[in-house]
Amino acid sequence: MVTDDGVKMTKKNKLLFVTDLDRTIIHSSKFLNNSIMDSIQCVESDGIQNISFILTEALQVQQALSEFMHFVPVTTRSRVLFDRIRIFKDNDYAIIENGATILYRGEVLSSWEHQIKQYLLEGDFSRKLSRADSLLTHSHYAECGSVRHIGDKFVMCKTDCPDEMERSLSEELNKDDFHYTIQGRKVYVIPRGITKENAVSFLEGILGTTYTFASGDGMLDLGMLLQADTAYVPSDAELLKRVNTDHLDFYISPYDSFNATLDILTKVKEDSMRLLSTEST
């Protein structure tokens, strides 16, 4: 593909776009409203109900980006939940389980898997995760029966008392071993070495990319955003409520939810084409 300004858009341009999914690229039904119903497409279903959506125009921009740069979804979702999303079936790479697993054409990337397993083994995380599981299971603030392991690499649960749960974890969790975040009702307790940004760094080395764009909305995305050359955040991002970004060079979209997705993807396309145009002169 060649742009109007003569830039040849191929994978050889060595550009990487890593992006969170939920509430950044795709959105659940609770964000739907009558004004956009004719402009969206369903991108995730569990076979019973439609779960996640994207503006048709945003999907077109996403597909265009995938033609000339490495477009890599980065999510805390488990493999099962990630596989329900249809729009990334043809992407070469995906980072799931908060960076614990990298997929290459649908298969686990063994070189990264080996590094993660070695880290967990050397840190005795089999025992430590069992203790974290017990902490959540016996917490007064965890929804009964909601505690589960994600790929034997971290634990999560649900809560109806996020403030109380945060205070409890702050007091009781070993912060040398784990970091945690609460997103809505979901609570994640994750070994410190398992992060989105670590997986992205590994992937940058494999691909030999020279410039990284990143987008995200939650605290688990912050390290990835700080590490990127250019970062994009929707106006309703959770991290904006928790982090002072005045000193950070983030692009904060003036829009939220579906329109923020379109705005961010369009901005990435414009910025990447500008970068490539500069490099070609």
pLDDT at residue 9 greater than cutoff 60: no
pLDDT at residue 280 greater than cutoff 70: no
151 and 204 inside one domain? no
**What percentage of the chain has pLDDT greater than the value 90?**
90
Domain that holds residue 225: 11-100+194-280
Residue 106 belongs to a domain: no
Contacts of 27 (CB under 8 A, 6+ apart): 52, 53, 54, 257, 258, 261
Confidence grade of residue 246 (pLDDT, cut at 50, 70, 90) = confident
pLDDT at residue 12 greater than cutoff 70: no
Residue type, 213: F
**Spatial CA neighbour of 252 closest among 237, 268, 274:** 237
Tell me: the pLDDT tens digits for 256-271?
A: 999 999 999 999 999 9
Confidence grade of residue 251 (pLDDT, cut at 50, 70, 90) = very high
The CA-based dihedral angle spanning residues 28, 189, 206, 15, taken in that order and rounded to the nearest 10 degrees? 40
Q: How much is the mean pLDDT over the chain?
A: 93
Confidence grade of residue 281 (pLDDT, cut at 50, 70, 90) = low
Tell me: the pLDDT tens digits for 192-237?
A: 999 999 999 999 999 999 999 999 999 999 999 999 999 999 999 9
Handedness of CA 107, 108, 110, 112 (dihedral sign): positive
pLDDT at res. 249: 94
pLDDT at residue 87 greater than cutoff 50: yes
Tell me: the pLDDT tens digits for 22-71?
A: 999 999 999 999 999 999 999 999 999 999 999 999 999 999 999 999 99
pLDDT at res. 278: 83
Give rounded-to-5 percent helix, strand, coil for the chain: 45, 25, 30
212 and 276 inside one domain? yes
Confidence grade of residue 16 (pLDDT, cut at 50, 70, 90) = very high
24 and 79 inside one domain? yes
Burial of 266 (0-12, 13-18, 19+ CB in 10 A): middle
Domain end call among 191, 210, 245: 191
Handedness of CA 196, 201, 207, 209 (dihedral sign): positive
Residue 110 belongs to a domain: no
The CA-based dihedral angle spanning residues 205, 278, 72, 236, taken in that order and rounded to the nearest 10 degrees? 120
40 and 91 inside one domain? yes
Q: How many domains does the chain have?
A: 2
Residue type, 198: N
Q: Which pair of structure tokens corresponds to residue 14?
A: 């060595």
Residue 2 belongs to a domain: no
pLDDT at res. 253: 98
213 and 181 inside one domain? no
Domain end call among 161, 191, 221: 191
Residue 5 belongs to a domain: no
Alpha helices in 55-139 (DSSP H): 56-68, 79-83, 110-122, 125-137
Burial of 79 (0-12, 13-18, 19+ CB in 10 A): middle
Q: State the DSSP code for 38.
A: G
